[in-house]
Amino acid sequence: MAEDSRARLDRLYREMRQRICLLDWPPGARLSETELAAEFGTSRTPIRRALARLEDEGLLQSLHGVGTLVTDVDREEMARTYALRMELAELVGRLSPAPVTPAILARLDGFRDRAERLTLQPDARHFAQLNMDFFDFGLSLTENAALRETSERLYYRTARIWLQQIAALDLAEECDTFRAEVDETARALRAGDPMAAALVRRAHISMSARRLAPGD
Amino acid sequence: MAEDSRARLDRLYREMRQRICLLDWPPGARLSETELAAEFGTSRTPIRRALARLEDEGLLQSLHGVGTLVTDVDREEMARTYALRMELAELVGRLSPAPVTPAILARLDGFRDRAERLTLQPDARHFAQLNMDFFDFGLSLTENAALRETSERLYYRTARIWLQQIAALDLAEECDTFRAEVDETARALRAGDPMAAALVRRAHISMSARRLAPGD
DNA sequence: AACGGCAGAGTTGTGCACAACCTGCGAAGG
DNA sequence: CCTTCGCAGGTTGTGCACAACTCTGCCGTT
């Protein structure tokens, strides 16, 4: 059975979003629809469909006659987006929190393992990837679809600035902080307290914003 | 000077969104890209670009070989979206509230006039239009762009259910309630208290949700 | 030397033809 | 009468050619 066109769109979209957020395509990079079409083995049409979504979400900007550019995120936009993300993180605990199942606790164990390994061998890119995966996990803690979509959109909107500024941060300390967040989240959820887990998340988003934009 | 392609996309997008939310295209309606292209005087390509955005926002669904269908909103999704919208309305007052300028108060006077006229001659469609305009006005009360975009997205996602259920509501009472909201908002903003205006908004979204989904 | 303009290459936007697909109808066969 | 098959019509998805546009580098002029 051939791949559904909707599934292919989703695959292209996620792949490109990943490349943007992992800085394979850094802010300012110029993409070529023709080259992308060649790389993904299709014509420009499906590529343009995926690029359109990324443009609507603010990760790309297409300029006629120039090219498709990866956008940058300025400090002010970042600060405001983080302020909103903090509130949304808390809402994950307050609106339709999902029941804590054994499957969720098992996934948490997986994250604890990965976080542990990361502290032993810090690596910025692996951290960024782990952070994304942990974010996706966090979305499963609410049954409110609108809240999930909104949080996801905002997260990926600013996800890349961490990697952009990693040189100015202490990677080992970042890894430690992340492991602490996973541990605290596990503690809260094992206690059957999703609201506490949400507050842990909010606290870490807040601290992350301060580390990324000192002085604001 | 000819129209920019970005401006045309925006025009098409808003026009179609309007038609969906005013039930010119009711849920389940089947659109034809060819017909739309003929009506708007272009080829299918720009039409498809606008339809793609509407599909990504959940207002449309394209099915290969079938057509492009206007989606419906079920009770559960509505309830959760409203719950989130209530919280976001409050955040408009808490995160980066915009300074209350004379221009804002002047716009409010305009809304009071329109609301007054509406109570004298109730009309569902005019009300829906006025409600949208007042919503857009409310967005100008925060300087947080992420919050604005998110609120807008969620609003238009469920805006049409009011018109869908108007037969089961008391139109005159709805108009009265709306006029009261405008008056209360004006009172709060004239007092220089954006947070109070935000709480008024939250209260009215809450009451609206109850009227639309009694028993939840 | 500085400036203007022109041509060329490269990019995104648009239009069109066709492929892939779904639905409904009608006729043939049970 | 009921079922099933096939076909015709219409729809969205894809590919391709060209239009519209931008940038760069070069050349001629001042």
Q: How many CB pairs under 8 A join A and B?
A: 62
pLDDT of residue B215: 74
Mean pLDDT in residue range B112-132: 96
Same domain, A130 and A207: yes
pLDDT of residue A214: 81
CA of A43 to C1' of C10 (A): 18
d(CA A9, CA A16): 11
Q: Which helix (H) or strand (E) holds A1?
A: none
With CB atoms and an 8 Å threshold, state whether B84 touches A145: no
d(CA A91, CA B151): 15
How far away is chain A from the Cα of B90, in angstroms, using its nearest Cα?
11
Chain A positions touching B77 (Cβ under 8 A) are 145-146
Write down the mean pLDDT value for chain B: 96
Q: Is the model's pLDDT at B2 over the cut of 70?
A: no
Same domain, B120 and B150: yes
pLDDT of residue A49: 98
With CB atoms and an 8 Å threshold, state whether A146 touches B5: no
Same domain, A95 and A45: no
Chain B positions touching A146 (Cβ under 8 A) are 77, 80-81, 84, 154, 157
Same domain, B109 and B160: yes
Same domain, B93 and B65: no
Last residue of a domain, one of B48, B70, B92: B70
d(CA A71, CA A18): 14
How far away is chain B from the Cα of A195, in angstroms, using its nearest Cα?
16
Last residue of a domain, one of A34, A49, A70: A70
DSSP B111-133: HHHHHHHHHHS--HHHHHHHHHH
Question: Residue A43 sits in a domain of what CATH number?
Answer: 1.10.10.10
With CB atoms and an 8 Å threshold, state whether B87 touches A84: no
Give the whole-number percent of chain A exceeding pLDDT 70. 99
pLDDT in tens, B158-211: 999 999 999 999 999 999 999 999 999 999 999 999 999 999 999 999 999 999
Residue closest to B28 by CA, chosen among B66, B70, B78, B73? B70
What's the average pLDDT block by block, 10 residues per block, for chain A (216 residues)? 87 98 98 98 98 98 98 96 98 96 96 96 96 98 98 98 96 96 97 97 98 83
Same domain, B84 and B65: no
Same domain, A83 and A50: no
Same domain, A96 and A155: yes
* For A5, nearest residue in chain B (alpha carbons): B64
Residue closest to B100 by CA, chosen among B129, B131, B140? B140
Last residue of a domain, one of A46, A70, A94: A70
With CB atoms and an 8 Å threshold, state whether B147 touches A53: no
Same domain, B112 and B10: no
**Domain count of the fold of chain B:** 2
Same domain, B115 and B182: yes
Quote the domain boundaries for residue B38: 5-70
Question: Residue B188 sits in a domain of what CATH number?
Answer: 1.20.120.530
Same domain, A32 and A121: no
Return the SS3 of A28: coil
Mean pLDDT in residue range B56-83: 97
Same domain, B53 and B96: no
